[in-house]
Structure 1
């Protein structure tokens, strides 16, 4: 973890400082967190190589376009990276809609709908785990245009790498359905959905521990299997 003086200017604020002080005392947990991300990512890459190859073929047979979706996202310290996800929409989806997806989105392909239902579209993020751009658990990586709308306190979520899952992801697993009826998806996401997710993200930083991350991973599995968390 960087020293306070080495943080980007936009993160060295009074709002971020309390979260920084909490994480600064969690050196051992941060070490094990990164170790699990790296080792786990390498193991998963080997185990998932064949299933991912099969999915890649299904995507190519289903619709025109690349296998991967590589949108620019934001991770620790405001660093930008291009996330790895299986493409679940038509190839020009970014040009004909918003950066977030609503339920029954017409841009979603047939294979894409199945992948999204089981979150299999996120399997390629093992590559982002290995590179260090992402972690198993952490704030979901937002598109640049949404990070630009962050309140000062939200910047504390950039103290850690973006995550594949989080408590916010579990609580908002039906986010697409929530946005389906919105007349202005971007506005509703920024003004209503994002603040709710950030409440959980910020709480997770204050309560951060390696064991807590493991618990969140198990809770995610149960959530994908259909369990609801209040």
Structure 2
């Protein structure tokens, strides 16, 4: 209950504070690449319930992407403004709406598309006992995931067999050991990483 109260009021506060930034980013996307402004993708949430996760759009439009096609590490469709948004992590800002709605938390395992949940169903059954989050230890460890995949010969195989199992290790550790104070430490580390690294 404490975590939900924290998530609700902080997400509401940040949405109000960042409203001018939201508008600025939206106008930049509109002027440089047109509509749509947002990338909305179906993800698997707590207890296996599906929800729509929001991001600012950073790639040229492809219908299959909303259903979870694998584009990680492929920079060919990334727009000019998209590169800036990805590097600064500003593309993630709309997920504050997911937090406000209660579909996500500030801290928790990153939500995946159904394809990758089905790749390790037993492990995900443990991970999905908690609400997914905007950031966590896996997000910090794999902040440069796009670069790792871009350098890989088999991008999908690298994600499935190397990156995702390591993420699941960290997700399961979070499920076993998470606490409100621990979440605050992850938020502090995330702020430091995004702003100063």
* TM-score tier after normalising by the smaller chain length: over 0.9
How many residue pairs get aligned? The number is: 195
Find the aligned partners of 1:211 and 1:99 in 2 and give their Cα distance.
Answer: 35
Q: TM-score if structure 1 supplies the norm length?
A: 0.80
- The two structures, once aligned, show a CA RMSD in angstroms of 1.6
Deviations 1:83-130 (A, max 9, x none): 1100000012746x9434216x11110101001111000111111001
Q: Determine the structure 1 residue equivalent to 2:84.
A: 114
Unaligned runs of 5+ in 1: 1-30
Q: Give the number of the structure whose alpha-carbon radius of gyration is greater.
A: 1
Residues 136 and 191 of structure 1, relative CA distance in 2, 3 Å threshold: same
Aligned pairs for 1:79-94 (under 5 A) are: 79-92=49-62, 94=64
Find the aligned partners of 2:64 and 2:145 in 1 and give their Cα distance.
Answer: 18
Unaligned runs of 5+ in 2: none
How much has 1:65 moved relative to structure 2? 2.9
Instruction: Please point out which of 105, 111, 121 is paired with 1:141.
Output: 111
After TM superposition, the runs of 4+ consecutive aligned structure 1 residues lying more than 4 A away are none
How much has 1:41 moved relative to structure 2? 1.0
Find the aligned partners of 2:54 and 2:129 in 1 and give their Cα distance.
Answer: 21
Q: Determine the structure 2 residue equivalent to 1:48.
A: 18
Deviations 1:48-107 (A, max 9, x none): 111101100100111133000001111100111111100000012746x9434216x111
Q: TM-score if structure 2 supplies the norm length?
A: 0.93
Match of 2:151, SS?
coil
Q: Report if the CA contact (8 A) 1:41-1:127 is conserved.
A: yes
Q: Determine the structure 1 residue equivalent to 2:126.
A: 156
Do structure 1's residue 60 and structure 2's residue 30 form an aligned pair?
A: yes
Q: Determine the structure 1 residue equivalent to 2:150.
A: 180
Which stretch shows the higher mean deviation, 81-90 or 175-184? 175-184
